[in-house]
């Protein structure tokens, strides 16, 4: 037959185990059970200690959950801000393209003349063309094509097919 002290020890251990099963570390459980076995006090003191341990563990668990919620909110806000920035960048790029003359790009006279000969007068028209189309234009060489690409890239614009992948930007 078990003594009253042994019963209270078992209760304390069960309380600690119940708390652990809800996400508390095994180190805390080990400390709780070790301290209970060392005690030679009244059963009510042991039960009180078990309750205090369980209560402290649950409080700590609640604190951790609150911190996790705060981190989730921060991450959500960060994602929203990133989305807003991307939208602003897209709008700025569209505004930069629409109706703006290629003369605003500060291209060499040769590159400007080649583009005009191909009936390309605006940045929007230029960005709708592929590099493979432009390289076929009479007088357009790799040097002129690279110049156009670099100047567009500096403005956050690209020739059709040169756009960076959205998957790479989001990583």
- Could you tell me the maximum CA-CA distance found in the chain, to the nearest angstrom? 104
Q: Looking at residue 167, what is its pLDDT? A: 44
Cα 19 to Cα 11, 54, 101: the distances in Å are: 12, 6, 70
Q: Which residue has the higher pLDDT, 66 or 145?
A: 145
> What does DSSP assign to residue 102?
G
| Percent residues over pLDDT 90 in the chain | 25
* Average pLDDT taken over every residue of the chain: 76
Residue 133 has which token pair?
């189309």
| CA–CA dist 149, 127 (Å, integer) | 10
Q: Looking at residue 2, what is its pLDDT? A: 65
> What does DSSP assign to residue 99?
T
pLDDT-derived band at 66, boundaries 50, 70, 90: confident
Q: Which of 20-29, 41-50, 161-170 has the lowest mean pLDDT?
A: 20-29
pTM above 0.85, yes or no: no
Statement: residue 171 has pLDDT above 50? no
**Among 20, 37, 21, 38, residue whose Cα is nearest residue 29:** 20
Q: What is the pLDDT of residues 105-159, one digit of tens each?
A: 889 999 999 999 999 988 888 888 999 999 999 999 999 999 999 998 888 888 9
| CA–CA dist 94, 21 (Å, integer) | 55
pLDDT-derived band at 42, boundaries 50, 70, 90: low
What average pLDDT does the segment 4-17 reach? 66
Q: Which fold has domain 98-163?
A: DNA polymerase; domain 1 (1.10.150)
Q: Which residue has the higher pLDDT, 57 or 40?
A: 57
């Amino acid at each position: 037959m078990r003594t009253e002290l042994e019963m209270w020890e078992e209760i304390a251990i069960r309380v600690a185990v119940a708390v652990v099963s809800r996400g508390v570390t095994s180190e805390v459980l080990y400390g709780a059970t070790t301290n209970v076995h060392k005690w030679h006090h009244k059963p009510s003191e042991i039960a009180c200690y078990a309750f205090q341990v369980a209560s402290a563990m649950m409080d700590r668990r609640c604190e951790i959950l609150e911190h996790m919620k705060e981190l989730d909110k921060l991450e959500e806000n960060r994602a929203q801000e990133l989305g807003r920035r991307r939208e602003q960048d897209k709008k700025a790029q569209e505004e930069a393209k629409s109706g703006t003359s290629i003369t605003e790009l500060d291209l060499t006279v040769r590159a400007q003349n080649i583009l005009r000969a191909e009936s390309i007068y605006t940045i929007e028209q230029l960005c709708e063309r592929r590099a493979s189309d432009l390289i076929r234009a009479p007088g357009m060489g790799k040097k002129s094509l690279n110049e156009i690409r670099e100047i567009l890239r500096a403005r956050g614009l690209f020739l059709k097919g040169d756009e960076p992948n959205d998957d790479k930007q989001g990583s």
